[in-house]
Amino acid sequence: MKAALVISERDNVATALQPLDDGRVLDLGGVSVAVLEAIPSGHKVAIRAIAAGEPVIKYGSPIGTATADIAAGAHVHTHNVASGRGRGDLDEPAPAAEPRLAEPPDGT
């Protein structure tokens, strides 16, 4: 089994498929990332530096925004990622994304 999985080439995180120890070096398809802290199985590790305010990308889509600078190899979870959705606790909640509506099949 792979140690960690990157789902889409757009992703800036990998999912640990087993517990990863501090110092372990991950080989992710040619890119090597040194793990900076213990990552539990199923949790995410940054595969490149993510600056505060940048989107965190998994499955090729944004899953939230970094709330602090995240170094490559660091644990990425609720302590450093905020969701932009369903945030009634914020004064000015982020607007819902405007998804592209599909064209009707007959072009009308």
Partner 1 sequence: MTNDKRPGFLGYRRSDGRIGTRNHVLVVPTVICSAVVAERVAASAAPVATALPHLAGCGQLGPDMRVTHDTLAAYCAHPNVGAVLVIALGCEQVVAQMLAETAKRHGKPAEIIAIQSEGGTVRTTEKGTRIVQGLAERLASTERDWCDVSELVLCLKCGGSDYTSGLASNPALGRVTDRLVDLGGSAVLGEVAEIMGAEHLLAARATNPNAAAQLIQIIRRVESEARSLGLDIRGTQPSPGNIRGGLTTIEEKSLGATHKGGERAPLEEVVGYSAPIRHKGLTVMDTPGLDVEAVTGMVGGGAQVVVFTTGLGTPTGNPIAPVIKITGNARTARQMADNIDLDVSGIMAETETLDASADRLFDEVLAVASGRETAAERLGHREFAIHRRNPTI
Q: Is 48 near partner 1 (CB under 8 A)?
A: no
Which span (21-29, 30-38, 46-54, 80-88) binds partner 1, by CB under 8 A? Answer: 80-88
DSSP result, 12-67: SEEEESS-B-TTPEEEETTEEEE--S-B-TT-EEESS-B-TTSEEEETTEEEEEES
Question: CB-wise, 30 or 105, nearer to partner 1?
Answer: 105
CB of 73 to partner 1, least distance (A): 17
Which residues lie near partner 1 (CB under 8 A)? 1-2, 5, 7, 15-17, 40-44, 56, 58-59, 61-64, 76-78, 81-90, 93, 96-97, 99-102, 104-105
